[in-house]
C-alpha cells in the first residue's frame, strides 16, 4: 500500500472541512464546547455557540460572571455546588463535574429559557483554587420538558389540570387523619356528569373533552379557600369540603349543581347542556378510612341517580346504609383477596345423555371460601367481581384450573362459563391457544359457554370468538337460551355446537303448558339446525320423561347430581403439562 504524502496530512483545506463538519455535528445535537480561565475571567466558546445558545455569546456570555448572571436564580446555586462544592481536590487530572440548570441567554426580560446539561473538568492553580475549566454544554429542553410533564402528570389530570385520583385520595386520607387529631369537620362529595354517553355519541370525543374541561372549571370556581377538587375517573369529580358539617352539606352541593346548569357550555360544535348528579358523605367518626368514605359517597351518588338526574343525596340520610355498605366493603375485600390468594376452586356437575343417563361431560362451577373458611355464594362473588372490574381476572383463573384438570384427567370433558367481555380479551384466548395449540385432543374435551345476551350484544365479536375457538378444536355452547330472545337465525350464524335452554323454562314443564310448548318447539327447530340441546334444572323423573319424549339430547339438574369438588375420573399415568 502506498504511503500518503505528509503534505496531504498537513493540508489546511481538509482540516478546515473537518472542523466545519465537527461544528455541524455539535450544532445538530445541541452541544457547545467552552473554556474558561480565571485570569481575566475569560470565557471562550466553540463557533456554533450562537446557534445553540440563541444569543450573542461574546456580548452576553463573554465572561464567567456574565454567564452566571444569566443562570436563573432558582438553579444557579445547584450549578455552583456541582462544579466547585464537591469537596474534591485536583490531583493533576482535573475534577470532573456534571450539573443541570436553566439559562436565560437573552436576559431575564426575555421569555427564552434553555435547560442546559453541563459536564467537564476544572483544574486548580498553585493556590488549589480553580484556575481554568473546560467542558461541554448540551441543551436538553425536550428532555426537561418531558420530565416536567411526567412530574405534572404524577399529580394532576392532563385534561382538566385538577388533582388526579392518586393525589386527591392522599389529600382525603390526610383530612381523615387530621379529623381524628383536631376534631375538624369535613364532607366528601362525588359529582358525575349526567348522560355523558349521549354527548360522546352525538358530538365525538373532542367536544366531550371540551365539556369535561368546562365543567371542571365551573366546579373549581365554586370552591372556597382550603377546599379541594380532583378528577376521579372519566366523568366523576371528587370534592373535599373542609369546615363543613352534615347540615351544610346539601347547600354546599347545590352550589356545584347550579354551576353546571347555570348556562349552556359553548363548544366548537355549538352549545351543549349538561347537568351534574352528586352524592356525599359527612366524614364523621364512623367513616374510619378512605375506602369507607369512597364507597359511601358512591352509594349516595347511585341513590341520587335513581331519584332524579341533577340532584344530590347524602349518604348519612339513608337509614342503615352504613352497615349495608360495610358488608359490601367486606365482600369486595373478599373477592380481591380470594383472587390474589388463589382460593378459587372448581366443582363439577354432571350432564347426562337423555336416553342412557350416562355422564357425557361436566359443567365447571366455581367454589370459593372467605378468609375464615366459610363458603361464599358463587353468584354473589361473580357479581362483585364484575362490579370491581375483576371479571377478566376471574375468567383467566377459571380457565387455568380447568385446563390443569383436562391435562391431568384424560377422561374429563368439561364446560366452562365465561364473562360477557371475554370475546374481546385477547390475552384469554392467547393463553388458551398457547396451552392447547399442540394438544388438540385436550381442546376437543373443552366446551366454552357464553350467555345468549352476551352473544347478541356484539355479534361481530361473538362470531370471531366462536371461529377462533372452533379452530382450536373446542366446542361452543350458548347458555341460558330463551332469556334474551335470540333469533334462530343468530343461532345458525354463530354455529354453536350446543344450546342450553334456560332452566326457568324447564323446571315446571310438568305443570306449565306454555313452557312445555316452548321447549318442544325449540327442540324441533334445534334438530333441524343440527344443534344439540341441553335442558337445565331437571328436578324430577316426570320432567326427565317429558324431555326424553321431546328428543332433548342432554339433561342437567339436581335429579342427576349436585356439583361436587371431587374429581370423578382416573388421573393420567403420566401427567401432560400444557
User: Domain locations in the chain?
Assistant: 12-146, 155-318, 332-556
Indicate the pLDDT class of residue 379, thresholds 50, 70 and 90: confident
Least confident of 85-99, 175-189, 480-494: 480-494
Predicted local distance difference test score (pLDDT) of residue 457: 65
Higher-pLDDT residue of 113 and 387 is 113
User: Looking at residues 497-507, what average pLDDT do you find?
Assistant: 90
Predicted local distance difference test score (pLDDT) of residue 34: 94
Higher-pLDDT residue of 570 and 120 is 120
**Highest mean pLDDT out of 21-30, 73-82, 304-313, 376-385:** 304-313
- Round the average pLDDT of the chain to a whole number and report it: 86
Strands (E), 380-510: 414-417, 446-451, 475-481, 498-501
User: Looking at residues 294-318, what average pLDDT do you find?
Assistant: 86
pTM to 2 decimal places: 0.52
Bridge partners of 460?
Answer: none
Choosing among 3.30.750.80, 3.40.140.10, 1.10.274.100, 3.30.450.310, the CATH entry for 12-146 is: 3.30.450.310
Do the beta carbons of residue 348 and residue 406 sit within 8 Å?
no
Question: Does the pLDDT at position 319 exceed 80?
Answer: no
User: Looking at residues 255-270, what average pLDDT do you find?
Assistant: 90
Predicted local distance difference test score (pLDDT) of residue 321: 58
- On the 0-12 / 13-18 / 19+ scale of CB atoms within 10 A, 72 is middle
Query: Which residue, among 409, 410, 411, 428, has the nearest Cα to 419 in the 3D structure?
Result: 428
DSSP reduced 3-state for 460 = helix
Higher-pLDDT residue of 173 and 573 is 173
Residues 6+ apart with CB under 8 A from 475: 444, 446, 447, 448, 469, 497, 498
CATH topology of domain 155-318: Alpha-Beta Plaits (3.30.70)
Predicted local distance difference test score (pLDDT) of residue 492: 62
> What 8-state DSSP symbol labels residue 347?
E
Predicted local distance difference test score (pLDDT) of residue 240: 95
Backbone φ, ψ for residue 122 (5° rounding): -115, 145
Least confident of 296-305, 328-337, 350-359: 328-337
Q: What are the tens digits of pLDDT across the range 504-543? A: 999 999 999 999 999 999 889 888 888 899 999 999 999 9
Predicted local distance difference test score (pLDDT) of residue 282: 93
Least confident of 70-74, 447-451, 493-497: 493-497
Least confident of 32-46, 124-138, 480-494: 480-494
Predicted local distance difference test score (pLDDT) of residue 347: 95
Question: Does the pLDDT at position 353 exceed 90?
Answer: yes
Question: Does the pLDDT at position 6 exceed 60?
Answer: no
Indicate the pLDDT class of residue 361, thresholds 50, 70 and 90: very high
Least confident of 114-118, 131-135, 151-155, 173-177: 151-155
For domain 332-556, the CATH superfamily is EAL domain (3.20.20.450)
Query: Which residue, among 471, 406, 417, has the nearest Cα to 442 in the 3D structure?
Result: 406
**First and final CA of the chain: distance in angstroms?**
64
Higher-pLDDT residue of 64 and 318 is 64
Do the beta carbons of residue 506 and residue 537 sit within 8 Å?
yes
Amino acid at each position: 500500500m502506498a504511503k500518503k504524502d505528509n503534505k496531504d496530512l498537513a493540508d489546511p483545506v481538509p482540516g478546515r472541512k473537518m472542523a466545519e463538519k465537527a461544528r455541524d455535528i455539535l450544532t445538530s445535537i445541541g452541544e457547545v464546547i467552552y473554556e474558561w480561565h480565571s485570569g481575566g475571567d475569560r470565557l471562550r466558546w466553540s463557533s456554533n455557540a450562537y446557534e445553540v445558545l440563541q444569543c450573542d455569546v461574546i456580548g452576553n456570555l463573554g465572561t464567567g460572571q456574565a454567564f452566571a448572571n444569566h443562570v436563573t436564580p432558582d438553579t444557579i446555586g445547584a450549578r455552583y455546588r456541582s462544579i466547585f462544592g464537591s469537596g474534591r481536590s485536583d490531583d493533576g487530572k482535573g475534577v470532573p463535574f456534571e450539573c443541570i440548570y436553566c439559562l436565560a441567554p437573552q436576559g431575564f426580560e426575555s421569555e427564552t429559557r434553555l435547560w442546559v446539561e453541563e459536564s467537564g473538568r476544572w483544574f486548580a492553580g498553585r493556590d488549589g483554587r480553580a484556575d481554568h475549566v473546560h467542558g461541554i454544554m448540551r441543551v436538553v429542553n425536550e428532555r426537561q420538558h418531558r420530565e416536567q410533564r411526567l412530574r405534572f402528570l404524577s399529580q394532576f389530570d392532563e385534561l382538566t389540570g385538577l388533582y388526579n385520583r392518586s393525589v386527591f385520595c392522599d389529600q382525603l386520607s390526610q383530612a381523615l387523619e387530621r379529623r381524628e387529631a383536631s376534631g375538624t369537620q369535613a364532607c366528601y362529595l362525588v359529582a358525575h356528569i349526567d348522560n355523558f354517553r349521549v354527548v360522546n355519541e352525538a358530538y365525538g370525543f373532542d367536544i366531550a373533552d371540551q365539556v369535561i374541561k368546562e365543567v371542571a372549571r365551573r366546579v373549581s370556581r365554586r370552591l372556597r379557600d382550603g377546599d379541594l377538587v380532583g378528577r376521579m375517573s372519566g366523568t366523576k369529580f371528587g370534592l373535599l369540603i373542609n369546615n363543613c358539617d352534615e347540615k351544610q352539606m346539601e347547600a354546599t352541593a347545590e352550589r356545584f349543581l347550579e354551576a353546571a346548569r347555570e348556562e349552556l357550555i359553548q363548544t366548537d360544535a355549538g352549545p351543549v347542556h349538561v347537568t351534574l348528579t352528586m352524592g356525599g358523605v359527612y366524614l364523621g367518626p364512623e367513616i374510619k378510612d378512605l375506602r369507607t368514605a369512597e364507597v359511601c359517597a358512591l352509594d349516595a351518588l347511585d341513590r341520587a341517580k335513581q331519584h332524579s338526574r341533577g340532584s344530590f343525596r347524602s349518604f348519612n340520610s339513608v337509614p342503615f346504609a352504613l352497615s349495608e355498605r360495610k358488608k359490601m366493603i367486606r365482600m369486595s375485600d373478599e373477592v380481591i383477596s380470594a383472587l390474589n390468594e388463589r382460593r378459587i376452586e372448581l366443582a363439577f356437575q354432571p350432564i347426562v345423555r337423555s336416553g342412557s343417563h350416562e355422564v357425557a361431560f361436566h359443567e365447571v362451577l366455581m367454589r370459593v371460601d372467605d378468609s375464615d373458611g366459610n363458603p361464599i355464594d358463587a353468584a354473589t362473588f361473580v357479581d362483585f367481581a364484575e362490579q370491581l372490574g375483576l371479571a377478566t381476572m376471574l375468567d383467566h383463573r377459571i380457565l387455568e384450573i380447568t385446563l390443569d384438570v383436562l391435562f391431568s384427567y384424560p377422561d374429563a370433558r368439561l364446560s366452562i362459563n365465561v364473562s360477557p367481555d371475554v370475546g374481546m380479551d385477547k390475552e384469554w384466548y392467547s393463553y388458551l391457544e398457547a396451552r392447547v395449540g399442540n394438544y388438540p385432543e385436550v381442546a376437543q374435551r373443552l366446551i366454552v359457554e357464553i350467555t345468549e345476551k352476551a352473544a347478541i350484544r356484539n355479534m361481530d365479536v361473538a362470531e370471531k370468538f366462536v371461529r377462533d375457538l372452533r379452530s382450536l378444536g373446542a366446542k361452543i355452547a350458548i347458555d341460558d337460551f330463551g332469556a334474551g330472545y335470540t333469533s334462530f337465525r343468530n343461532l345458525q350464524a354463530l354455529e354453536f355446537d350446543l344450546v342450553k335452554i334456560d332452566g326457568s323454562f324447564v323446571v315446571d314443564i310438568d305443570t306449565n303448558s306454555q313452557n312445555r310448548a316452548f321447549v318442544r318447539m325449540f327442540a324441533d327447530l334445534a334438530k333441524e339446525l343440527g344443534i344439540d340441546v341441553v335442558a337445565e334444572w331437571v328436578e324430577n323423573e316426570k320432567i326427565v320423561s317429558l324431555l326424553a319424549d321431546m328428543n332433548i339430547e342432554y339433561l342437567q339438574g339436581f335429579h342427576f347430581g349436585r356439583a361436587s369438588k371431587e374429581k370423578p375420573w382416573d388421573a393420567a399415568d403420566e401427567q401432560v403439562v400444557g
